[in-house]
Amino acid sequence: MASRAAATQKSEKFPTPAKIAITLVVNGVARKLEVAPWTTLLDALREHLDLTGTKKGCDHGQCGACTVLLDGRRINSCLTLAVMKDGANVTTIEGLAEGSALHALQRAFIEHDAFQCGYCTPGQICSAAGLLAEGHAKTADEIRELMSGNICRCGAYPNILAAIEQVVAQRGEPPR
């Protein structure tokens, strides 16, 4: 049987690459996994680590449903190859809360009913967390512009904006 597999491999015009061992620090925990070279960070999170809070929307980087924080910066995980992020710190929606205490953005989204179907909510919240860390958004227009990569098909934008504005105000950042 082994000689048959070897013969098949020799006859392959383009042999399938071997899986690659990587380590991702996901929500503060080092996770070792083996992935095919073409595995996106989104698929590594969802399919290999069972972290399904991050959603697969368009798979083209246009909707923002897959937004996570990578080393503190927001990215579209569907456009990022997992093997290129070996050793990186990834924060997903599951990692924003501290124990049973929700993140301020998670609480604000609940208070402002900033979701309807909820599909985009994890990406919206992770993107907003990155936006707050960047410190660029102080006005409603700046928040709208910097959140424009996150699409909500239900149209909860006014409530999403209100939730983010509440957290900006709670942080004591003066409006401009």
pLDDT tens-digit map of 121-135: 999 999 999 999 999
> Considering only CA atoms, which of 73, 118, 103 is closest in space to residue 166?
103
Q: Label each residue of 101-122 as H, E or C.
A: ECCHHHHHHHHCCCCCCCCCHH
> Considering only CA atoms, which of 142, 141, 140, 127 is closest in space to residue 166?
140
Contact 55, 144 (CB under 8 A): no
pLDDT of res. 1: 54
- Encode pLDDT of 159-174 as tens digits: 999 999 999 999 875 5
pLDDT of res. 96: 97
Question: Sign of dihedral through CA atoms 42, 79, 136, 145?
Answer: negative
Contact 120, 141 (CB under 8 A): no
> Considering only CA atoms, which of 140, 53, 77, 112 is closest in space to residue 104?
112
Instruction: Please classify residue 56 by burial: count the beta carbons closer than 10 Å to its beta carbon, then call 0-12 exposed, 13-18 middle and 19+ buried.
Output: middle
Contact 52, 59 (CB under 8 A): no
Query: How far is the C-alpha of 155 from the C-alpha of 114, rounded, in Å?
Result: 9
- Encode pLDDT of 50-105 as tens digits: 999 999 999 999 999 999 999 999 999 999 999 999 999 999 999 999 999 999 99
Residue whose tokens read 């004591």: 172
- In 3-state terms, what secondary structure has residue 7? helix
Contact 140, 165 (CB under 8 A): yes
pTM of the model: 0.88
Q: Label each residue of 47-76 as H, E or C.
A: HHCCCCCCCCCCCCCCCCCCEEEECCEEEE
Query: How far is the C-alpha of 116 from the C-alpha of 157, rounded, in Å?
Result: 10
